Structure 1
Amino acid sequence: MRVLVTGGAGFIGSHLCERLVSLGHDVVCIDNFNDFYDPRLKKANIKGIRMRTYRADIRDYSKLQRIFRKEKPSKIVHLAAMAGVRPSIKAPGLYNEVNVTGTLNLLELSRLHKVGHFIFGSSSSVYGMNSRVPFSEDDATDNMISPYAATKRIGEYYCRVYSSLHGMDITCLRFFTVYGPRCRPDLAAMKFMTKIDSNEPLEFYGDGSTMRDYTYVDDIVDGIVAALGKRFRYEIINLGDSKPVKLKDMLQTIEAALKKKAIVIRKPIPPGDVVATFADIRKAKKLLGYRPKVAFRIGIAKMAKWYRETR
């Protein structure tokens, strides 16, 4: 099958493209290589992956249309987005343009070009300050606390509309705190690893009791590939590890992997940060046969090995 992956040069996207190529699929990558972080990192992510790559912004409908006409994809995995909770608070308009308008562009072009199977990369951030744990796909999402979360939820709504109106098979996958090799520089695991290895102070928010459901990137890719092999008219499915890790334990795990101690500057929890994320993955297990395999300690060790080898 020919799979078009948006955001295919990014952290999750590059791992997905690499896996799909290894499985014998024809892969088309779209990425805008913007300066949210050093674009050289993205170029390194996809070096050696045998696929066709287009530099394009998902807000550019005309350019996307030319790619759709030329490539005629059979499936779409839409991962491209402006990412991150805290940056979205400073630039909500940009996040809306990319994450909402860009998603709508891809849905409309998929409709016009009769691409019947669409996978949307959503986020656990849509659960916001949900007090019920673990987070279930049936839980209310009316307590979001960042523009990023709102744009992801709106994307899910548009997916539902296109599924209902046009008979498209669409699965929205809510990713929970992904980490691993090629991790984005702005994510906590990568920031901590970089600061500790460089003997630089790192900012540590709160008392360390906040928790995240850290999920190794290979497990996330397993879930995406499984979703590509199943067709549902419309489903929302959590992809997480379902074993939350406290911030203080995450820091200690990275220290142990690097065999170095952190220099910590304590800060209050910033606006937009939730207290905990915790995925209920029973639906993923039932519908996708999803089974996360990589324990957090092992995943951090793998990430640290990659980090040291690429620096």
Structure 2
Amino acid sequence: MSDPLNAQSAGPSEEEKAKMLEQKISAFQDHKKRRERRNCEQKLKREKEKTEHLRQRNEQLEQKVSELMEGRTPTESVEMPECEVCGEQFCRMVEKTPRMLKMARVRPRNIEEELKTKRTRFYRYEEDRLEAELKAKRLELEVANKRLKVMEEKLEIRMKYMKAAVAREVTRNALLMKQRHEAAFKVTRLFDELEKNRKKKQAAVDHYEAKNEGLKRRVAELKNGTVPPVSLMPDCEICLTEFCKSAENVPRVLGCGHSVCEKCTHDMVEEQETQDTLMCPFCRHVTELTDSDVTSLKKNYTIINMFLRN
């Protein structure tokens, strides 16, 4: 079974969008740092050039001062004025032609008002800076919340999957345990039935052996001429035991009219699947039993009266 976490849409997820936004911010910051570094290098280069020019100009002035102090005429007869911004001398070139600027009238301001204005500007700058930082923090918090939400959704899906898997495993184990108990019960029942059948067969064997011994004795007596009086009592046609007054050998009449001893009726009922009926072993007629009890069958009083006469 495939993991439900892999079954996502083809578009970029919220986590991937957040990563892309972070990469763009990092690239913008790197570009800004490189641009500031480049501007600083250019500014430093201009300052170095200006410093070098001022040093050379200073050396020239020192040389002129030393010549004047020694009473010599300076080598340069005419000295051109310099630009007060870049420090270079004016000349006829277009770039170095001197230009006059219009001086704006500056109204005298109060020091308190100037301080107030500077303080207001500073406060505005700090407010804008703090607002920008707050906006950035809010953006970071929003991205973090989106990541947390995605992780919670993934965790919830995984928990549902694991709960379903555990439930299936528990159901399977319960079914296996039930099948094992049923199999053990069937095996125990089968062994009990085998033991019961073994005892029945052994009892039948013992009964037939005893019957055989009796027949052998009767044959010997017939050969010897000492024949005992023949019993006129009928026998059970299943176990070949004579009917008598004892509870096990009392004759019971089936619905078809055949008589069977009570012990054999018990054995036949136990061998059947249903306990409320009894099938005759001779004619296959089915006799219904009241409350699944063989004692509900009527006794064969004809045979019982024979007991009383004897």
Do the structures match in fold with TM over 0.5?
no
Interval containing the TM-score (normalised by the shorter chain): under 0.3
Larger relative helix fraction? 2
Larger relative strand fraction? 1
TM-score, normalisation: structure 1: 0.13
TM-score, normalisation: structure 2: 0.13
Point out the structure with max Rg over C-alpha.
Answer: 2
Q: Which has the higher contact order (CA 8 A, sep 6+)?
A: 1
